[in-house]
Amino acid sequence: MVANLDELPDPLWELYFQRYPVLRRATTKEFFIGRGCPYACTFCVNGTLRRLYGGGAVRLRSPARIVSELLRIKQSAGLAAVYFNDDTFTADRAWLQEFLGRYRLEVGLPFTCAGRASLLTGEVVEALARAGCRWVEMGVECGDERRRRELLGKDESDEALAAAARRIKAAGMFLKTSNMIGLPGETPADALTTLRFNQELGADAATCSLFQPFPGLPLTERALALGLYVPSPERPFGAFSFQTSLLELPEAQRFLNLRRLFSFGLGFPRLLPLLPLLLKLPVARFYEGVAILFFLWTYRRYHQADLALVLAKAWQARGLR
């Protein structure tokens, strides 16, 4: 395992831009500042990978290397906004301060990043806003604090999440959350609590996935022990596996419908009392259409994407819901 990521060459994004013009035309492009995550949530591969391969929890490229890469792409392929796709952009406070200072002065573009609630202190949120951060992603995962802590191994309280959300909004940035339903032992009524909590946080956008029992995860072992998951080559993980569940869930169709209607419910909170009824209706194809429309609307708003990229995502999303 390479400890110093600066020893690796910069990704040659230009090869992809030549082959896929839609990527070149995209005004928002994705980048990574490093690899790894310091946490070991039971539903995530990061902890398992760390046990398998060892090494440090987080390895970061130097601010100078990242700024150099961004400036190269800004000049060669056009760049209006940056999406940092790392799990925890704010993991290293000292690194973050140095990088944000250089980014603001040398790159000067709006950007999106992800942060853990406990790391999104007032000082960090203000620094992100000063540097041009427009959206902050924050993992909620589950609206039930006990389940979030004990089942998912994510030691974040409701109050910590709410406080971080208030700081983000007060600093003039948008909040996007990530969520997960279809957990072992969860009911559709429990899952609706997650949507309700997102509304209380004032989230501007949200993603909702179904838990995937990847091999080696502690939560997968829990599902196996409960008899909710039987690995089978006839039901492999697919490209769009986060849109379906491989668990033997009671009322599985309601979970699938809630995943399709999650963004819709967030956008129209007054309809929340109707969702328990809507989840029962056998109109999955209609809900798929609703999900795709909200996906595209959110994608364009979130990534400041042009029409070509949105249409490309529409073609890709036809199989997601």
CB 301 within 8 A of CB 205: yes
CB 141 within 8 A of CB 43: yes
Give all strands of the β-sheet with 111-114 in edge-to-edge order: 28-31, 81-84, 111-114, 133-141, 174-181, 205-210
12 in a structural domain: no
**DSSP letter string, 87-114:** S-TTS-HHHHHHHHHHIIIII---EEEE
Burial class (CB in 10 A: 0-12, 13-18, 19+), 313: buried
Tokens in use for 231? 């690995």
Q: How many residues are there in the chain?
A: 321
CB 302 within 8 A of CB 28: no
1 in a structural domain: no
Question: How many domains, the chain?
Answer: 1
pLDDT score at 319: 45
First to last CA, the chain: 37
Query: Where in the sequence is the domain holding 39, given as residue range(s)?
Result: 17-230+237-317
10 in a structural domain: no
pLDDT in tens, 221-263: 999 999 999 988 877 776 555 778 899 998 999 999 999 999 9
| Secondary structure letter of residue 35 according to DSSP | E
pLDDT score at 312: 61
pLDDT score at 236: 75
Rounded CA-CA distance 204/263 in Å is 10
Instruction: Spell out, as residue ranges, where the chain has pLDDT lower than 70.
Output: 55-56, 238-241, 299-321
158 in a structural domain: yes
pLDDT score at 313: 57
6 in a structural domain: no
| Secondary structure letter of residue 31 according to DSSP | E
CA-wise closest residue to 181 among 129, 249, 123, 231:
249
97 in a structural domain: yes
Host H or E run for residue 28: strand 28-31
pLDDT score at 320: 42
Rounded CA-CA distance 275/181 in Å is 15
Rounded CA-CA distance 156/143 in Å is 11
11 in a structural domain: no
Q: What b/e readout covers 90-127, taking b as 16+ CB neighbours within 10 angstroms?
A: bbbeebbeebbebbeeebebebbbbbbbebbbeebbeb
Residue keyed to tokens 């091999």? 215
pLDDT score at 176: 95
pLDDT score at 307: 55
Task: Provide the CATH number for the domain around residue 122.
Answer: 3.80.30.20
